[in-house]
């Protein structure tokens, strides 16, 4: 019997689409990881959220939690907090367009991005994020070392760095697909595993020392219809520590016993 998977890396991403920070503990409330995707960059003219699918340079910036909300570091080493009165001006200067930092307040926000070719206006599309968080689908994302190894074997020329996939929890052990349809306890947190994580062009984008690689997504589409990792919601809030083990319980089987 294989050992229970453990949390080998914990991540949060204070600003949507920017690089995040590793930590030794995560606090999870009813709506997800505290301090995760709390802020987003929006286009001033439209109020729509800008992501790395449309603006890959966002991945070259990093953000970490700060008493002021979040501290951002740009590739040119400019550093400032979300509370800085010049924050919007600094970001706008860096990106070459008028943008603003927004903090999530519970309302629904709309993302504006390109489906295929940025040069084609018809490629522009929008979709609404879930109310209360700057996440695409679910508030918690889990990935495993086993999934990274298996994917790397299918595309060995690729750089299968965890940063491409932006999980909150990287687990030891095999691929996490077996968690689908389960409740999973890690630390004193209870998660409901809601579905497989659908991947998009964002995993192919360059960031800092990672090159652009379209084959990353192509290989995932061929192997698993483009899914990689699992999403979860928080059933019981609490704390996850680095090294905590994960125990899963089949929901359907439990209901049958009842």
Predicted local confidence at residue 21, as pLDDT: 97
Q: Which CATH homologous superfamily contains domain 7-257? A: PK beta-barrel domain-like (2.40.33.20)
The confidence score (pLDDT) of residue 114 equals 55
Q: For 183, list phi and psi in degrees, rounded to 5.
A: -100, 140
Of residues 254 and 156, more confidently modeled = 156
Residue 258 pLDDT: 36
| Predicted structure pTM score | 0.89
Q: How many angstroms separate the CA atoms of 6 and 242, rounded? A: 8
Domain boundaries along the sequence of the chain: 7-257
Tally the C-alpha atoms within 13 A of residue 124's C-alpha that lie toward its C-beta: 8
**pLDDT value of position 124:** 62
Q: Are 39 and 15 in contact (CB under 8 A)?
A: yes
Question: Residue 123: its pLDDT value, please?
Answer: 55
pLDDT tier at 46, thresholds 50, 70, 90: confident
Distance from chain centroid for Cα 32: 12
Q: Reply yes or no on whether the pLDDT at 78 is more than 70.
A: yes
């Amino acid at each position: 019997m294989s050992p229970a998977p453990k949390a080998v890396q914990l991540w949060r991403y204070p600003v949507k689409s920017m690089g995040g920070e590793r930590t030794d503990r995560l606090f999870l409330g009813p709506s997800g990881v505290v301090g995760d995707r709390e802020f987003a960059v929006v286009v001033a003219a439209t109020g729509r959220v800008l992501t790395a699918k449309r603006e890959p340079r966002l991945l070259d910036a990093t953000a970490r939690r700060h008493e002021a909300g979040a501290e951002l570091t740009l590739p040119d080493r400019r550093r400032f907090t979300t509370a800085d009165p010049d924050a919007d001006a600094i970001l706008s200067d860096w990106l070459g367009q008028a943008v603003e930092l927004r903090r999530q307040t519970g309302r629904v926000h709309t993302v504006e991005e390109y489906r295929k070719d940025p040069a084609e206006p018809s490629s522009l599309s929008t979709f609404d994020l879930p109310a209360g968080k700057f996440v695409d689908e679910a508030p918690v994302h889990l990935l495993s070392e086993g999934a990274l190894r298996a994917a790397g074997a299918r595309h060995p020329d690729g750089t299968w760095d965890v940063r491409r996939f932006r999980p909150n929890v990287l687990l030891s052990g095999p691929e996490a697909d077996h968690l689908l349809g389960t409740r999973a306890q890690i630390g004193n947190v209870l998660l409901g595993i809601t579905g497989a994580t659908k991947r998009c062009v964002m995993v192919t984008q360059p960031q800092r020392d990672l090159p652009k690689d379209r084959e990353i997504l192509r290989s995932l589409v061929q192997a698993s219809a483009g899914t990689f990792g699992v999403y979860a919601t928080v059933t019981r809030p609490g704390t996850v520590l680095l090294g905590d083990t994960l125990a899963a319980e089949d929901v359907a089987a439990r209901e049958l016993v009842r």
